[in-house]
Amino acid sequence: MARFIKHVGKHGDRKVAVIFRQIPGDEHLCLVVYTETLNQNIHDPLIACIESAPGQATENLADALNRAYTKDGQVILQMLHREGMLKRVQTEQIMMTPAPNQKIKLSELNTILNEMAKGEEAVRKLAEIDASRGLQDPKDVAKRMRGESTVDVPAQKKAAGNELLGNGDLASNLRAQAIRMSNEAKGLMAEAERLLKEAAQMDPVAVEKPKKMAAKKATTVPVEAPVPAKKPARVKKAAVAG
């Protein structure tokens, strides 16, 4: 059975990796990179990132590429932007090819995913309410922190030509990820506190107060003065008559 791979498709006959499936403010456009034009320094790590668990778990490949590196140690997303390799293309023109026998237009895929996201948003809000009450499942939080759930992408500023992501935009993306992780950490802390309270109710542990030691009364031991020893009596010698 052929493996299902997200984020890959074609623009005409050219293979592309879809970095953003929709550009905020221009939802009929997407952001892609033509993989066949990349050198080995970028190509191999980018493909590895796409096929990795984090790459397949994220909604937009850009999130994973912002944490992946080229062979010479540079952040892949930043290098693609710096080298002008990110191109804006109409979603109608991109044919997604998740498997050899499967094809779907990106525009149609976006419509389906956006409809699904509406339901997921309602679930997410309920989860946030539960988290505020200390009822959030730690396993669910851990999954999201590993990138196994939909990641909201912050709105990007519209720019001219093929330019989209500036340094400020990339910084905003990183800040949004940091805020999300901080909120999830708070959820874990709230859940830990709830579990401790529940454990205390099920098996209360009495805290013993330290017993006060009775102060011992000082005992006075009488000390007798030493009695001076008597000197032995001197024996007088008897006079011997001559």
Query: What is the pLDDT, as a whole number, of residue 208?
Result: 47
Residues 169, 189: Cα–Cα separation, whole Å: 30
Residue 157's pLDDT band, with cuts at 50, 70 and 90, is very low
Query: What is the pLDDT, as a whole number, of residue 114?
Result: 85
Residues 191, 4: Cα–Cα separation, whole Å: 35
> Strand order in 29-34's β-sheet?
87-90, 29-34, 14-20, 8-11, 94-99, 102-105
Residue 163's pLDDT band, with cuts at 50, 70 and 90, is very low
At 237, which amino acid appears? K
For residue 208, give both structure tokens. Answer: 């013993």
Query: What is the pLDDT, as a whole number, of residue 144?
Result: 58
Domain positions in the chain = 8-201
Query: What is the pLDDT, as a whole number, of residue 214?
Result: 47
**Candidate from 25-39, 105-119, 147-161 with smallest mean pLDDT:** 147-161
Convert the pLDDT of each residue in 188-223 to its tens digit. 777 777 777 777 777 776 444 445 544 445 455 555
Confidence check: pLDDT of 171 > 80: no
Q: How many CB atoms lie within 10 A of CB 190?
A: 19
Average pLDDT value over all residues in the chain? 76
Of residues 68 and 185, more confidently modeled? 68
Please give the radius of gyration of the chain, using alpha carbons only, rounded to the nearest integer: 40
Query: What is the pLDDT, as a whole number, of residue 70?
Result: 95
pTM score: 0.51
Q: State CA 45 to chain mean position distance.
A: 22
| Cβ–Cβ under 8 Å, residues 11 and 32 | yes
The 3-class SS string of the chain reads CCCCCCCEEEECCEEEEEEECCECCECCEEEEEEHHHCCHHHHHHHHHHHHCHHHHHCCCHHHHHCCCECCCCCEHHHHHHHCCCCEEEEHHHEEEEEECCEEEEHHHHHHHHHHHHHHHHHHHHHHHHHHHCCCCCHHHHHHHHCCCCCCCCCCCCCCCCCCCCCHHHHHHHHHHHHHHHHHHHHHHHHHHHHHHHHHHHHCCCCCCCCCCCCCCCCCCCCCCCCCCCCCCCCCCCCCCCC
For residue 145, give both structure tokens. Answer: 């922190």
Of residues 218 and 8, more confidently modeled? 8
Convert the pLDDT of each residue in 49-94 to its tens digit. 999 999 999 999 999 999 999 999 999 999 999 999 999 999 999 9
For residue 152, give both structure tokens. Answer: 């909201």
Confidence check: pLDDT of 96 > 80: yes
Residue 2's pLDDT band, with cuts at 50, 70 and 90, is low
CA-to-CA dists, residue 103 to 8, 32, 92, 95, angstroms: 11, 17, 13, 6
